[in-house]
Structure formats: C-alpha cells, structure tokens
A and B are shown apart, each in its own frame.
Chain A
Amino acid sequence: MRDRRRINRHLAGLVSAAALMLGAASPAFAEEIIVGVASAQTGGLAPFDQPSLAGLKIAVDEINAKGGFGGKYPVRLVVKDTRSDMGATATITQELVDAGAKILITPCDADPSIAAGQVTQPLGIPTLTFCGTAPILTGAVGDVMFGTYPGDNLQATVLANYAYDQGLRKVYLLKSPDSTYTMRLPEYFGEVFTRKGGAVVGEGSFSMNQSDFSAEVTKIKNLADKPDLIMTAGYEPDFPAFVQQLRAAGVSTPVFGADAIGTGTILGLGKLVDGTVYTAAGYATPGSKLAAFETKFKDVTGHAPESAYEANGYDIGLILDTAVTKADSVDPKAIRNALASIEKLEGVTGEITYAGTDRMPLRSVALVKYQDGARVFIGTQVPAAAEVPAP
C-alpha cells in the first residue's frame, strides 16, 4: 500500500510537472492547483484548526463549483494532521510541498507556522496561518508568510482606543505567561493605553487551565488604586472562571477581553459578563455577509459555527481566490505578490488589507459587548497603521 502511495505521489509529481510545462506552453489549459493544509486536527491546537478547516472547505467547494480559483484553476485541498507537533509540522509541510502544493496553510499558532514557513520561504510558496495572531509571525519567516486573523497588537489597539474613548483611564492587566496571546495582548493594550494618556495601575498573572482565581481576585479587590477596567486575553476555561470569581467577590469593574472570548460558553455566563467588551474578526449583524455565511455553514454541516474561526477559514478561501485571480497564474511567486497587494477585500468577516503592511493584515476589527445575556454590536474599526504597536 505504501508503495502504491509512493507511486501515486510520484505520478502526481510527474503529472503536475507535466502540467506546469503544458501550462507554460498554453495558458488556457485548466490546471489543478494544490493547496496544502498542514493543520492540527488533534492535540492542543485542534480546537482552532478544526473549525478553521471546516470553513475553508466550504469556501473551496463553492469556488470549485464555479470552476476553481479565478474561475479556471480547480482547487484540491490536501490536508494532513500535524497532531499539534512542531517536528511533524515541518515534515508535513515538506511533504505537501513535494506533493506539489502551490499554497500552504499552517496551524493556528505562531510556532508551527514559523517552522512551516522556514520550509516554504526559500521556495517562495505563499503560506497563510489559519488564525495565528502573534504579530512577530510574518517578520520571523519572511515575505511568504501571511497572517489572516487580526493580530494581537491590532486587536489590542482597537480595544484600547475604545476603552479610552469611553472615559476609562486606569487599567489592571491580567496576563498569563503560558502563551504569547495571553501574555502579549494585554501588554500591547497597556502600550496603546498609556500612550493615549491612560495608566496601568496593576498587573496580575495566572496559569492557564487552572481554574482557581480566588487569590488573584482577592488581590484585585484590595487594590489601593481601583482600576476602571481589567484587561485580559484569558479565554476558556480561565476567563469564565475569573469573571465568576471576580463577580462573586463583589468586584464590578468591567472586564475587557479579546477575540477568544467570543464563544457560547462566555455568552452562557449571562449577566456575569455584562459590560464585557471584546474584539472579533467580524460580527454577524442581521443581513450581513457573516450572518449569511453562518446560515450557509449550518446548512452544509448541520451545526452552527462554534467560533469565528469557521468564518475566517472561509475568508482564507476568498483571499486565495482573489490573489490567484489577480495573479492569473499558478506560479507561487505571482500568487504571493498578488496576495501582498490585496487591498480592502470584502470578506465575510470584514475588510482585509495586506498592501502596505508587514503581511499581518490591517483589517476591520469588530467590537462587541455582552449585555443582558446577549451580544451587542458596538461597531467596526480599522485602526490607523501608525497606532498599532510594533510587534
């Protein structure tokens, strides 16, 4: 069986090589374009990669129904599970490249994405992370690496702007050293917030997956200088635990968070999270593209999207379609250049721009507030590039 697979792979290689030559000779010939997906379908990153892939698949099916990228290059997704393992990600990336992938999608985290990017960078193959948000990601790899989701610094900027505009001046930052996201996002927030004139009155730390916040809460409660808001990038299960325990201790200071808390669990907390503001890649207002996507997603898969990653996955499909259309070629370098020049693409999550950025998209960030057990849409912001703190 293995031999046959290998022969198949060799055949695929030969076919694509032949197709490439043919393609060069006659550009009208419809050729398949392979999108390699090195994603974590199991392990710690699976909660992010699984929904992202589900969204991407829907987009690809739709695009193929119309003839493929740019209407003429049928798309084939080759998906391999990295098991959330770094070494496996690098190897699998190489395999996908060997299998003829012209575009590569990497897991929802900076580490494996950088490891994969180091394989694709020398080959010039455009590489997009599913939803990695660490802004250093693209700089660490080079010009083939693209973020798709709003970066940590971008989200923090939008949040800080909003908080300052609401007249809040003193912030308590709650960080966890356990991940880039939980550590850096509040720090970016602090940076923007102090630059605007706000003050950081205290910092606390927590360990992820350790639901007990009582000591931290007691500390916050007894702060001499009472904060106007608490900013954290903690998510499940830490965020619900924190808010529950904070409110139970009688502290009513509003808590701001980032996109990872836009989930059913947090919504399910009801009145506890009243006043919590968070960022999102997009917001499904009635009649919006996102709302339409969610309906569509439910029709196709039988269940509603569990997060914003499904929509983001779908948008990756749109981004790639746009880039290939623009490049009008399956040459990775051409696609890369086309990607880098995308400006104000209307995705289902909002507006996406790569032109003029370091390939972490400058894109719209939705601000949402939990109120009375429901989500209230505050608005969408695209911050000025200058406001966003450096990675």
Chain B
Amino acid sequence: MLVQQIVNAISLGGVYALLALGLAIVFSIVGLINFAHGELMTIAGYCLLGALLMGVPLAVAVVVAVASAAIAAVLMEQIAFKPMRGASVTSLLITSFAVSSLLKVLFQNGISARPQPIAMPSWMTGAFQFGHVSIGVGPLLSIAGSALALIALELFLRRTVMGTAMRAAAEDFNVVRLMGIPAGRIIATAFLLSGLLAGLASLLWIAQRASVDPLMGFTPVLKAFIATVVGGLGSLPGAVVGGLLLGVIEVALQSALPPDVAPYRDAIVLSGVILVLLFRPDGVIPAARAQRS
C-alpha cells in the first residue's frame, strides 16, 4: 500500500510540477503570475476534443492540442500582456484574472457550459501488476510524461542558446538584451514553453477526468500557484520541488486523515503553505535574482 501511495504521490506531483513550471517560467521572465494558465489547459482540451471529433488519430490530436495551447499562450502575451510590460506584479496578476474570466465567458457561451466528453482509449485505463502492487497505466503515463517533459525542458535550458538565454534572463533581463538577444523573442519563448507545459498537463489531467468544461482550468492553476509559491516564485527547480511536494502532501493526507478530519484537508495543506512561507519567505528553493545596487 505504501509503494502504491508513493507512486500516486509522484504521479500527482508530476502533473503539479508541469503546471507550476509553466507558471514559473513566465514569472521568472516577465514577473507575471498568469492565472489564465488554466484557460490554456482548457483550450488544449477543446482542441483535443475538436481534433478527435474530426476523426484525427489520437497521436495527431495530442500534438494539435499541445500546439494549440502553446500558440494560445503566445497570442495571449501579444494581445493582453504586452501592453503591460514592466507593470507591477499585482497589476499583471489581476490582468490575468480578467483574461481568465473573459475566456471562461467565451467558452461558456461560445462552446457550451456543459462538460464535453473526451473518450480516452481503453488501454489507458489498464494496469500493470508488479507483485502485490498494481500500477495503473494512467499514473505511469503521467509519471513518464512529466519526467520526459522535465528532461526535455532541462535539455532545452542547458543545451540551447535560447534556453541558456532564458535562464540568464530570469536573473537579469536587461543584461541579456545587452548581449543582443531580443527581448520579444525571449518573452515569446517563455510563453510558448508555458503553453506547451499547460497543454501537456492538460492531456494528463483530461486523461484522468475524461471531459473538458469551461471552468476546468481553475483548480489546477490554483494548485500550480500554491506549488510555485512553496517552491519559490520564479525558481524553476523550486516549481518542480513545490509541485512534487504538494502532490506528496495531498496524497499523504488523503490516505492518513481519519474521515472526521478529512474535510479539513485543504485547510491543513494551506496552513502548511503559510508555515513554509513564515520560515522561508522566498520558498524552498528561492529564485536566483541579480542583486542590483
């Protein structure tokens, strides 16, 4: 049972980590906590649905979905956030709330307020048996998916010029521009990456829930937000650690709390978050920021 719960925790934490990473990448570059990140997930979901309805094979539909979230993220930046460059964190945050609520209205009235089913292939709901432990294809897929995405992202950040520039920009954006690297391209790449991560997380999320609805993005983005805060706002390793930590804590509490206390679970988790902040105001792994005199 313990092994199984550990697998559960990693699988849930992996999805949170992807989401948190998406938020953190954008935050590290432009100082925006993008609450419309959840709507990117919803867009990916609707595009997946649309593609499947048009009879596109699953593999292609998945690519379409992830790509659409990435494009949507870049468009969102161009349309909504570009005029706000350099605004305060709070102004940006609240703009993203507004964008998020605008998109929700659009989905509700343009598509449908009702959840739309997305049929997942049956192999995804199978399970592997390892001795006493049976591990579902779903959790495995989500662990593998998150792990691959994290590795790919890490390779991108370490091995490519743009990736290196992005890590540098998170530290000191202006100096990166002094190296001749265009600001617009770095920001667009940050949003593109966050969109890709949102798309991927959306697939894993939808694989579990089998439907898309206009409001589906809210819970995951809230979790991601909590994870990034715990990990350290703007710190990429922090986001991953925060996501995994949140997954582990949620699963641990879910399995350990007696039924009478179980409804208080979220209150306990959030009190923990406040506690972490009290002792480490900048999160578990604070973001590296250039000290400017």
Tell me the A residues contacting B by CB distance below 8 Å. 42, 44, 46-47, 50-51, 177, 203-205, 207, 209-212, 214-216, 218-219, 221-222, 236-238, 240-241, 244-245, 247-250, 263-272, 306-307
Distance to closest chain A CB from B271 (angstroms):
16
Q: Does B211 lie within 8 Å of A237, measured CB to CB? A: yes
Q: Does A263 lie within 8 Å of B126, measured CB to CB? A: no
Output the nearest chain B residue to A235 by Cβ-Cβ distance. Answer: B115
With A205-B259, A211-B208: A250-B134 Cβ-Cβ less than 8 Å: yes
Main secondary structure, interface of B, reads helix
Q: Does A211 lie within 8 Å of B263, measured CB to CB? A: no
Q: Does A265 lie within 8 Å of B137, measured CB to CB? A: no
Specify which chain B residues have a CB less than 8 angstroms from the CB of A46 in the assembled complex: 108, 113
* Among B108, B251, B254: residue with most chain A CB under 10 A: B254
What 7 new A-B contacts, CB under 8 Å, besides A236-B211, A307-B114? A42-B108, A51-B114, A209-B218, A212-B12, A215-B252, A218-B4, A248-B126
Q: Does A270 lie within 8 Å of B8, measured CB to CB? A: no
Output the nearest chain A residue to B113 by Cβ-Cβ distance. Answer: A46
Distance to closest chain B CB from A305 (angstroms):
10
Q: Does B219 lie within 8 Å of A241, measured CB to CB? A: no
CB-CB contacts of B1-42 with A at 8 A, as 1s and 0s? 100110111011001000000000000000000000000000
Near A by CB (< 8 A), chain B positions 240-264 give 250-252, 254-255, 259, 262-263
Q: Does A263 lie within 8 Å of B115, measured CB to CB? A: yes
Q: Does A248 lie within 8 Å of B211, measured CB to CB? A: no
Q: Is B163 an interface residue (CB 8 A)?
A: no
Q: Does A209 lie within 8 Å of B109, measured CB to CB? A: no
Complex alpha-carbon distance, A116 and B172, angstroms: 56
Q: Does B208 lie within 8 Å of A263, measured CB to CB? A: no
Near A by CB (< 8 A), chain B positions 213-248 give 213, 215-216, 218-219, 223
Q: Does A203 lie within 8 Å of B125, measured CB to CB? A: no
Q: Does A244 lie within 8 Å of B208, measured CB to CB? A: yes
Q: Is B81 an interface residue (CB 8 A)?
A: no
Give the number of chain B interface residues (Cβ < 8 Å): 52
Q: Does B219 lie within 8 Å of A265, measured CB to CB? A: no
Q: Please choose the segment from B67-75, B84-92, B116-124, B181-189 that sits at the chain A interface, where 4 or more of its residues have CB less than 8 A away.
A: B116-124
* Among A46, A216, A221: residue with most chain B CB under 10 A: A46
Specify which chain A residues have a CB less than 8 angstroms from the CB of B118 in the assembled complex: 265, 268
Q: Does B105 lie within 8 Å of A42, measured CB to CB? A: yes
28 pairs of residues in contact across A and B, judged by CB atoms under 8 Å = A42-B108, A42-B113, A46-B108, A51-B114, A204-B259, A205-B259, A209-B215, A210-B219, A210-B223, A211-B205, A212-B8, A212-B11, A214-B136, A215-B250, A218-B1, A218-B4, A219-B255, A221-B1, A236-B115, A237-B115, A237-B208, A237-B213, A241-B210, A244-B125, A245-B138, A249-B127, A264-B116, A270-B119
Q: Is B139 an interface residue (CB 8 A)?
A: yes
Near A by CB (< 8 A), chain B positions 40-61 give none
Complex alpha-carbon distance, A20 and B114, angstroms: 41
Tell me the B residues contacting A by CB distance below 8 Å. 1, 4-5, 7-9, 11-12, 15, 105, 108-109, 112-120, 122, 125-127, 129, 134, 136-139, 205, 208-211, 213, 215-216, 218-219, 223, 250-252, 254-255, 259, 262-263, 265-266
Could you say which of B216, B252, B259 contacts A203, with CB atoms under 8 Å apart?
B259
Distance to closest chain A CB from B252 (angstroms):
8
Q: Does A265 lie within 8 Å of B126, measured CB to CB? A: no
Complex alpha-carbon distance, A249 and B115, angstroms: 25
Output the nearest chain B residue to A236 by Cβ-Cβ distance. Answer: B115
Q: Does B114 lie within 8 Å of A306, measured CB to CB? A: yes
* Among B12, B127, B209: residue with most chain A CB under 10 A: B209
With A46-B113, A250-B134: A211-B209 Cβ-Cβ less than 8 Å: yes
With A50-B114, A207-B266, A215-B250: A250-B127 Cβ-Cβ less than 8 Å: yes
Q: Does A270 lie within 8 Å of B122, measured CB to CB? A: yes
Q: Does A237 lie within 8 Å of B134, measured CB to CB? A: no
Output the nearest chain A residue to B105 by Cβ-Cβ distance. Answer: A42
Complex alpha-carbon distance, A8 and B208, angstroms: 52
Q: Does B205 lie within 8 Å of A268, measured CB to CB? A: no
Specify which chain A residues have a CB less than 8 angstroms from the CB of B117 in the assembled complex: 263-268
State the 3 A-B residue pairs at the shortest beta-carbon distance, nearest first: A248-B136, A237-B209, A265-B117
Complex alpha-carbon distance, A214 and B252, angstroms: 11
Complex alpha-carbon distance, A245 and B120, angstroms: 13
Distance to closest chain A CB from B2 (angstroms):
9
Complex alpha-carbon distance, A265 and B210, angstroms: 7
With A42-B108, A51-B114, A218-B1: A248-B255 Cβ-Cβ less than 8 Å: no
Specify which chain B residues have a CB less than 8 angstroms from the CB of A214 in the assembled complex: 5, 7-8, 11-12, 136, 139, 251
Specify which chain B residues have a CB less than 8 angstroms from the CB of A42 in the assembled complex: 105, 108-109, 113
Could you say which of B139, B210, B254 contacts A237, with CB atoms under 8 Å apart?
B210
